[in-house]
Amino acid sequence: MPTEGTSFANPAAALIPPVVCDHPDDVAEVQAEPHFRLRVRFYDGTEGIVDMSALVQSPNAGAFAALADPARFTEAQVSLGAVTWPIGLDLAPDAMYSALQKHGTWKLE
């Protein structure tokens, strides 16, 4: 039984190297822009615009309907090489990467 002052830190955490997402098709940066668009840059320099306006305003948006609130949409961030939101949503970086390499934009509907 632990005594007072005993740390409950996870000793296994010190043994596992941190996850590094810096592959060419991992998202390096994301910036929310007006009209439900994201400017995204990958580690290999591929960049472009992800247009989510049709998706978030669609009656079939499902969980993505929460992003129709502009304040929530701007909470986009990069986590483990993907675009994510604190409410548990994320975008597939591989599909985004492919579309941006081919067209420079990715329109989600």
- Please indicate, yes or no, whether the overall pTM of this predicted structure exceeds 0.85: no
25-66 pLDDT, tens per residue? 899 999 999 999 999 999 999 999 999 999 999 999 999 999
The string of DSSP codes covering 39-90 is EEEETTS-EEEEE-HHHHTSTT-GGGGGGGSHHHHTT-EEETTEEE-TTS-B
Percent of the chain past pLDDT 90, that is, above it, reads: 76
Give me the residue spans of the domains in the chain.
23-107
Task: Evaluate whether the domain defined by 23-107 bears CATH number 3.90.700.10.
Answer: no
- pLDDT tens for each residue of 76-86: 999 999 999 99
- The pLDDT score that the predictor gives to residue 100 is 97
